[in-house]
Amino acid sequence: MKRLLLTAVFCIGIAAVVPNFSYAQTETASPEAKPAVQEEVISPQMQGTMEDLRSVYVTTLDQYRRDEQSYRIASAQHKNVGTIATLNELVEKNKKVQISRTKTLIAYYSAEQVYLQNTVGVDLDLKTKQLTRTKEVIQQLQLQMTELQTATDRVVLDGFSSVFADTRSQYNQVMYGGLALIHIGKMQRAADKLRSVKETLYSMRTSELNALTENEQRGFDEIDRIVDELDAGSIYLYKQFNSRFTEYGVDQNTYQQYVQYLDTMYTQLRKGENFVLELSGRYR
């Protein structure tokens, strides 16, 4: 019997983007690399929605892991014994784990869809394009779920495994495309926030003093340069995203390149935040 391809594409990356969604880890900027100026206020209603999505995702992922383990045990037993009874058990576990996998994928993409939709700072055209692909994947998975629930034949179930293997790359591209835009959008939002805080502080300082000191003016000028660099970085990433966008999103290699580039941008962002804190007299 063809072995199920149960690669957990839904386990990659979500923790870094939506910390409350999953316990999974990813190759991305560490939490401490993201300074306070990028924090956003999320409405209580949206926070509740995100918590609900997280709960569904974590629950379905846990169930999938249990079902996958049961499938592996049944597969090993049938390989060793090879009776009709063990075959029936294997078919049952095969169906159950594929249903669990599909539910988990639906939960993941539904969560990513809502989070991307509500991420401020993302290029609208690219967001719309990526959300369309995500919606299409969810619809495909929902259709597969309906077909899986009525399937009983071993060959038919093996066929669903083959379909998943064939579409796994597409699903990955949709996932990485959404994650990339969320990361870029959050960086752009952080740059905008840094600019706003700097302008507010500049206005306060100039209203208190007839003139800024040379050191203070230099500090404000440096923040302006940093914000300009961050804006240029976001523009570059969006251009790269648009040029590398496949029919579904971007591949893992492209996403990892974005993450590495964003790491350097976060370094600049931290420097700008420190300048703001120093100029406001709260730097320690």
Check: CB of residue 135 under 8 Å from CB of residue 114. no
pLDDT of residue 76 exceeding 60, the answer is yes
Domain locations in the chain as residue ranges = 9-29+41-178, 188-279
Q: Look at residue 8 in the predicted model and tell me its pLDDT.
A: 30
Residue 96 vs residue 20, higher pLDDT: 96
* pLDDT band at residue 211 using 50, 70 and 90 as cut-offs: confident
Residue positions counted in the chain: 284
pLDDT of residue 47 exceeding 90, the answer is no
Highest-confidence segment of 43-57, 122-136, 208-222: 122-136
* pLDDT band at residue 204 using 50, 70 and 90 as cut-offs: confident
* pLDDT band at residue 43 using 50, 70 and 90 as cut-offs: low
Q: Look at residue 44 in the predicted model and tell me its pLDDT.
A: 60
pLDDT of residue 27 exceeding 60, the answer is no
pLDDT of residue 88 exceeding 60, the answer is yes
* pLDDT band at residue 29 using 50, 70 and 90 as cut-offs: very low
Residue 230 to residue 261: CA distance in whole angstroms: 11
Mind listing the pLDDT tens digit for each residue in 268-282?
A: 999 999 999 998 885
pLDDT of residue 24 exceeding 50, the answer is no
Q: Look at residue 147 in the predicted model and tell me its pLDDT.
A: 94
Predicted structure pTM score: 0.79
Q: What is the mean pLDDT of residues 94-98?
A: 95
Q: What is the mean pLDDT of residues 237-252?
A: 91
pLDDT of residue 139 exceeding 50, the answer is yes
SS (H, E, C) the chain: CCCCCCCCHHHCCHHHHCCCCCCCCCCCCCHHHCCHHHCCCCCHHHHHHHHHHHHHHHHHHHHHHHHHHHHHHHHHHHHHHCCHHHHHHHHHHHHHHHHHHHHHHHHHHHHHHHHHHCCCCCCHHHHHHHHHHHHHHHHHHHHHHHHHHHCCCHHHHHHHHHHHHHHHHHHHHHHHHHHHHHHHHHHHHHHHHHHHHHHHHHHHHHHHCCCCCHHHHHHHHHHHHHHHHHHHHHHHHHHHHHHHCCCCCCCHHHHHHHHHHHHHHHHHHHHHHHHHHHHCCCCC
In this structure, the number of other CB atoms found within 10 A of the CB of residue 255 comes to 27
Residue 41 vs residue 128, higher pLDDT: 128
Question: Is the C-alpha dihedral spanning 265, 284, 222, 191 positive or negative?
Answer: positive
Residue 169 to residue 174: CA distance in whole angstroms: 9
Q: What is the mean pLDDT of residues 66-86?
A: 95
* pLDDT band at residue 46 using 50, 70 and 90 as cut-offs: low
pLDDT of residue 209 exceeding 80, the answer is no
pLDDT of residue 231 exceeding 50, the answer is yes
In this structure, the number of other CB atoms found within 10 A of the CB of residue 242 comes to 12
Q: Look at residue 116 in the predicted model and tell me its pLDDT.
A: 94
